[in-house]
Structure formats: structure tokens, C-alpha cells
Structure 1
Amino acid sequence: MIIANHPRWFNRAGLPSHLEPWKSLGVSAGNDFEVNFVPDYKILHNAGYNVLAYDLRNFGHSSSANGGLFTAGRCESRDVIGPLDYAAAAVIRGK
């Protein structure tokens, strides 16, 4: 199983710089190029891997948490533990 995390300001699919709020976040620094992780996930899937991609709190389609604040990993670490727990439970269930 591949558990795919994403960098700050990205979401589980990449960096959709053509959409708000990503468009406004990067344009002032000249960082307005789009990044798409989905083709890479497809390669991994076609190679036989299960791919679990998720949004960190306050990014993508995740719910708002911590008042919308980014905590540089202190609270976001819980977002990493959740998929690890999910994967471990799936192994225990034999799925």
C-alpha cells in the first residue's frame, strides 16, 4: 500500500493553481504552475499497489480544523497517523 501525503498548500491530487484559493496563494511569488499527482497514482495502481491519498486538515476537501490554522506539523501529524491506523486495521481485517 502506498500512503500519499502532500506538501503544504497542495491537496491530495496536487496543486490546482488554476483554482482559488491556490491561484491567489502562489501568483505573487510566480508559483502558479499546476502539479497533478493523479497520473503517478495511476502508474502505482496499475503496478498493483493500493494507493491511499488524503487531504491534510484545512487543505483540499478536508474539514476545517484548529480554526483554519496551519501548525507546521504539530496538529497535522494526526492527519498522518489516521491513514496509518486505517491501513493497519485493513491488514488486521485481511483486506
Structure 2
Amino acid sequence: MDAFVLSSLKAYHLGWIEWRGILLVSMVIYACQPLLFLQSLGNSSLTIMNLLWDVMSDVIVTSIGLYYFSEKIGPMKKMGVVLSIVSIFLLTWKED
């Protein structure tokens, strides 16, 4: 969800997309987000579900920024991305 919306808005900002309707589409997509959260609560606690949603979204959007939009980040920020990926594994780890 964030990956599509943020990438589309970045492309619009850069002039790659000229259709102003992308703003309305982005708002409609974000309006549907609570429905996905509600569905997700059946599988996980609010705390873990929210953390996973945020971190996974951050990693995906960062990857799109780096590879699709050719954005650059320094070594410390790269380490932050790596630690975010590690946190995804830790948050999904099944405890006994």
C-alpha cells in the first residue's frame, strides 16, 4: 500500500506521472488501510502487527527509493535498513 502510494507520489513530483488523479487514488487507497488493519488483528496482536506493518513498509519503500528512483543513502542509514530487516525476523520469530 505505502509502496504504491509513495512511489506514485514521488513519480508525480518528478513529473514522470502527469495525471493529477493519482492524488485522489492515493487518498482512496489510504482510506482502505483501516480495513486491512482490522483483518490483520485476527492474526496478531496490535503491537506486533503495527510494528511489522511500519517496518516492512519502510524497508519496501526504501528499496524502491534506492533501486527505482536511484536515491542514495550513507553507510549509517544502510546499517539502519539492515537492522530494520533483522527486526522483521525477530518480530516474526515464533516463541515457545
TM-score bin, normalised by smaller chain: 0.3 to 0.5
Task: Report which of the two structures shows the higher radius of gyration computed on alpha carbons.
Answer: 2
Q: Which is strand-richer, 1 or 2?
A: 1
- Structure with bigger helix share is 2
Q: Structure 1 length as normaliser, TM-score?
A: 0.39
